[in-house]
Structure 1
């Protein structure tokens, strides 16, 4: 018998697969074509330059901000690639928070796990992608839209390259 957490992770993975499947294969760019850009209006990224303060900013969990260099990619580039790949799977009222994107280096290829928080139909949502390659030729591994953020256990599985398509 599975634990309630295991059932929830399995249900979340199934929802991700179903939502991702509903968006069709057209959302996945081929490795030889350029990455499309979104024409939907989304909030712009928050400036990465802030005034110095005497206290360091509080972070609720270990995360990497989208600013910085991720194998040649800028964090904002990875976030935008993920938004573009998953936009059609979300309701029309989706609003992404690119400035709060979580990017984790994976132990497998594609190298980067990108989690872009969003609000959709009044719910906390999340775009989830694995991206590798280079800025001139990005490679999109997984792309899915979820109407709830992934549990930390599933994020750790994705970092290790496990259960990318649900329970196997």
Structure 2
């Protein structure tokens, strides 16, 4: 029969073996199974990588719910495209998914800026629109071979320089 001291020594040795084994087990997966590095070096597309970058103003939605009074962004963009199409060269290509819509301080209520491209130039359809989807009221419609400077956009929001003065 073993003495209590021998039992304690055996228990201590067993504890050291178990702790050493546990420490070895904890270290082994890290050593043999590297931490996945594919996420930082090859990130999966995140919602921000697949969606347009946020802009300071609302963008048209792909849904049928109205976001701009009674209008959807897509409706406002299409009204502006239809109103300005004939003023652009035949090769014009619009980007309605990146339309900028701003609430104006004066009627018509909405300033609509639809990016476009023609002859390799950045262009823009610009409209002021009010009313309702069945009866839109077009205030201004303009085709430009360059986007408006932000200062002019702000003027249009306030109802200033609507004659095209920059």
Q: TM-score, normalised by structure 1?
A: 0.64
> Where does 1:12-31 land on structure 2 (aligned, <5 Å)?
none
Question: Larger helix proportion, structure 1 or 2?
Answer: 2
Unmatched runs of 5 consecutive residues or more in structure 1: 1-50
Please state how far the C-alpha of 1:66 moved relative to its aligned partner.
1.0
Pairing 1:97–2:91 present: no
The corresponding residue for 1:123 is: 121
Higher relative contact order (Cα pairs below 8 Å, separated by 6+ residues): 1
Alignment partners' CA distance in 2, 1:54 and 1:80: 26
Q: TM-score, normalised by structure 2?
A: 0.65
Please state how far the C-alpha of 1:52 moved relative to its aligned partner.
7.0
Pairing 1:108–2:106 present: yes
Alignment partners' CA distance in 1, 2:83 and 2:162: 17
Unmatched runs of 5 consecutive residues or more in structure 2: 1-44
Describe the shift of the 1:156–1:53 C-alpha distance in structure 2 as closer, same or farther (beyond 3 A).
same
- Which of these two proteins has the greater Rg computed from alpha carbons? 2
RMSD: 2.2
